[in-house]
Amino acid sequence: MEKACKSFINDNDLQDKSILVHSNSLAIRKLFSELARKKSNVSVYQTYSSSAGEGKMQAEYISSLGFNITFIHENAVGRFIKDIDMVVFGVDLITETELLNKTGTLSITLLFNHFGKPVFVIADSRKILRPDELSEKTINGLTNEEEKPSEELWENPSKNIRVVNYYFEMTENELATAFYFETVKR
């Protein structure tokens, strides 16, 4: 992961840039550890990352490295888009055509694409699912999430309200500007 982070830093002028991060990712933690080591001057926008709010954990970690964080809900990214230069995601899985990541990733990616701002992905290449190495059933099992407890969103809804809760979603790979892995940039 360290090579991927260094490659990303070398390929992109990050000085005085604003970076949006989403969810809680080891790749993003390693990126900011490297940026702190290089004493890079970047500002950070961190999303809450519904429904579990794990963005708080990542914000705490990045702020402990000396970075200032603007903590926002992922639904409010549009309000700040003019102030943010790029988004950088760590991801959970990558298929030939899509990446699996925390809900909110697709809408953030579409927003950044609409405004012509780069979308970067930093990941361990072991997160790439290769159809020739795994069965279709295994890939479907990894990419088709079971519904999560509805109570996380709403404990006692009225009887005619069905609450649906998922943590992950798929986003088309072609919406990313570049992928960085420890071995090669794609």
pLDDT digits (tens, 9 = 90+) for 162-172: 999 999 999 99
Residue extents of the structural domains in the chain: 2-180
Q: What's the Cα-to-Cα distance from 84 to each of 9, 112, 118, 119, 169, rounded to whole Å?
A: 17, 9, 10, 11, 23
pLDDT-above-70 percentage for the chain: 97
pLDDT band, very low/low/confident/very high, at 48 (cuts 50, 70, 90) = very high
The region that residue 66 occupies, defined by phi over 0 for left and psi between -120 and 50 for alpha, beta otherwise, is left
CATH (one of 3.20.20.140, 3.50.50.60, 3.40.50.10470, 3.40.190.10) for 2-180: 3.40.50.10470
Tokens of 14: 């990050």
pTM for the predicted model, two decimal places: 0.92
